[in-house]
Amino acid sequence: MPVKTEVLQKEESVVQAVDIDRPYWDQSTYRGRALHFLTVTNPLNIFASTKELERAREVVKKYRESDDADLGKFGITENELWRCKYLYDSAFHPDTGEKMLLIGRMSAQVPMNMLITGCMMTFYKSTPAVIFWQWINQSFNAVVNYTNRSGSKPIASDTLARSYIGATGGAVITALTLNRLAQHGPPLAGRLVPLAAVAAANCVNIPLMRITELQNGIELQNAEGTKVGQSKRAAKQAIVSVTLSRILMASPSMVLAPIIMNYLDRKKLLRNMKWAAGPIQVLICGVCLTFATPLCCALFAQRVPIPVHQLEPEVRSKIQSSQPELDTVYYNKGL
């Protein structure tokens, strides 16, 4: 089993304690991470009722606090425990334990992005439409970045406002500039402008929305999950990996859809059904994102190990003075 278990002796019986603080699948392999994120990003999780979410949280909380590993005493099976755990993970922040905003959850990524991306690529010629859909996209990205930030410290309102304005403004300017340049190129170039704008904007949006991590450092934990310090170097690594995975996540749909639509235009297959361009692109985006979202989230481990000797000198000294035997720490990179 990929799940780490601990054998507990209870009189003459042996009971296995399920370690729900670790994912069900082995996170040291890409396959394990992919299966994990296929579950976490499952769009069906957004339809879970408040009652179901609260029950999942209660089950997870009680099991974590209990010294008894016998699931029968909780009235659930191991499979039910894991369903509750993954439902809990899909709706509650891993560091703060707070319920996340619905549209900011990873389970909302596919339905929200397929609609926004499809519209960005359908209405890419009109300047007002470019401004509107880039603003919508970056506003959504800002919500996702804030919701899935690493660490338990809140972002100040003024910092949040500056980050949002800077990221959204940068995305709109990038899109309009590239759109103007693409007017002198082939038709496919214009259709690929949204991808270039999204890639450039992610390089602005994610660092700005997580600027407090760059300024103050990301939380470091030991293997048991206890905080041992904060590192700016680890924060940079986390933000780079998240930015890369977000760009790759958007690429399949934003490359495949323009190619298909350009082919349909050349063959004039939609000449009498121009209204179908939007739905077709939304559908293509939906299919691509269903797989690209979990597979790109899985490119990098969620809980990242980093050797203590690779940390900043002052952080390393602090950790070694308090826990000299500790040689590896971990951080949550965010999503």
Measure Cα distances from 253 to 49, 75, 116, 130 in Å: 30, 44, 12, 18
> pLDDT tens digits for 11-54?
334 445 778 878 889 888 999 999 998 888 888 999 999 999 99
Show the tokens assigned to 174: 């990038």
Q: Is the pLDDT of residue 316 over 80?
A: yes
- Bridge partners (DSSP) of residue 36 are none
Q: How far apart are CA 203 and CA 34, in angstroms?
A: 24
Per-residue H/E/C for 240-273: HHHHHHHHHHHHHHHHHHHHHHHHHHHCCCCCCC
> pLDDT tens digits for 238-296?
999 999 998 998 888 888 888 888 888 888 887 788 788 888 988 998 899 889 989 99
> pLDDT tens digits for 145-192?
778 765 655 666 676 777 778 777 877 887 788 778 777 777 777 778
Q: Residue 4: its pLDDT value, please? A: 42
Q: Residue 16: its pLDDT value, please? A: 57
> Domain ranges in the chain?
30-90, 105-332
